Structure 1
Amino acid sequence: MLAAIGLDETHESAYRALVRVGAAEVSDLARGLGIGEPETERALRRLERHGLAARASGRAGRWVAAPPGAALGALLTRRRHELEKAELAATALAEEYRAQAAEPTVHDLVEVVTGAAAVSQRFLQLRLGARDEVCALVTGGPAGLTGVADSAAGRSADRAVRCRSVVERAVLDMPTGLVELSAAIGRDEQVRVVDRVPAKLLIADGSLAMVPLTSRTAEPAALVVHDSGLLASLTGLFEAVWRAALPLRLGADGGTVGEADPEGPDGTDLEILSLLLAGLTDASVAKQLDLGLRTVQRRVKRLMELTGVTTRLQLGWHAYERDWVARRTRAPQG
């Protein structure tokens, strides 16, 4: 538990034992810890250097514990300062890197990453380092989904990074496919399905892309593509596959996934459109239709994606052009 402030298991055990008894002889501590006296002596000296223990006055060989509140508090403060300095250094290096990469040479536009560990590490860097959006084409299994299940990745959700994934239909038939896809949708990720995707692909913030290189004989490898015409082509490929794919929706029981036709709105979408065109706000629409505000906003966003527009004014025009609001909808209540 105290490894974060520089103490290994032996030193932490020694300090905890000393705190429990308040003061002790080296021999007594050694017996309690189950280690030799020389090792115990070295541990106590290390604790002394950290300000966590001190030799008792007036009696040789006896040690006392420093008050944890003050002693550990000082170490934590120092470690926080060190982390702040490291963060500032990382920011400065990132700025320097961006400045240097502003005019990249042709050889710097593509990295070749080899080895399973290196490829996995680079993949996580791109995925966890994204600030705005992560897009992925997934083949062979759901492990490539953009969401991160482990606790260290909570930062992606905290920073509201948008995640869009297109998976092959075969993923649905895999043993854990539906579970992973349901979890991804539960994290508010957008997931669509197609019969086949052209290649595995990960794009972070539209500035970096990663394409695995497949080979039956060579070790795993991948290309990391920086901002360039090639990256623009990969981004265009993803968007083309995304538009052709079918959205996945959770079933009513919350445990299955089904496909929805993206070509038109359902009845609830039509009601939302009608009320919005009548001048109601999102909050008023939600109240009238007994929906959550977030549900209304998500449905409007989906309709904008389906029509390829960027503003609600354009969405209204498309709604009339496609006769979406010509159908009968629920009238607003006074």
Structure 2
Amino acid sequence: MLSALGLDEAHEAAYRALVSLGAADVLDLARRLPLGEVATERALRHLERHGLAAQASGRPGRWVAAPPDVALGALVTRRRHELERAESSAALLAREYRARSSEPGVHELVEVVTGRAAVAQRFLQLQLGAVEQVCALVTDGPIAGADAEVGTRARAADRGVAYRVVVEHEVLTRPTGVRDVSAAFGRAEEVRVAERVPTRLLIADRSLAMVPLSEHADEPSALVVHDCALLESLYGLFATVWRHARPLHLGGPPHEPEGPSVPETPDGTDLAILSLLLAGLTDASVAKQLDLGLRTVQRRVRGLMERAGVTTRLQLGWHARDHGWVGRPR
């Protein structure tokens, strides 16, 4: 009956006997209980710790019972508080469990895509699903699916999706590097060039990202990252590379002059030549990339220098940047 208060059958029997007697010696109490003298004294010591019994003052070896309404009421109150604390702890654990179970699991935050066709399809799906912006890092190596990219990019442009792309310098040195980049990402996009790009990367609307796991294996694989801390880290990587990259003009309509003192803006071919030179390509490489003669490239560079009123190519580069011919970092 009193087990809920921490008393077993022996302790409860000792207390009941002591209450009925009012006061008793250990030997007298042991005669009324099937415990023996030693066990009875042990039970009385336990009752004493719980405030249910006490030794009579001036009477060594004699015990008196504490009033049940006071002593048991105190135990009930203490046990009630313990149960309330346990109930609060249980509710807190339940809330933590529900919060944890409502969070997406690891398998929902990242997914592994394996196989050339599957990787290419997922790559296109990320772009087709973008609403506002696509960010990309392009490293050296063939740009797979460039033909498919043209249609994908056109449909994205119709929806107002903006592209920001950083291309590794080595990509532009390939025989068809400029053509591949133009086909893959369009001529009207914001494209920059960096000496080194750490990894290939595609980020759609800062909510999905795709990064390769293995590109040179027989079965390439990629990691698709959903909205989580890892995605923020990948976007931070892109932002850092973008910030330090140089603008690259791949043709298209020229930029508008920034003021009345700015000379007439060069045409698209001049801007493409200038942009590739600023990206580190030689005159011969620029001529080959743009399918122009070497003398044509050199003649146009001289014309740009005359238009800018400078005498060196270094001065031409600064002038082009200051006057928005090849774009300024945003």
* Pairwise TM-score range, normalised by the shorter structure: 0.3 to 0.5
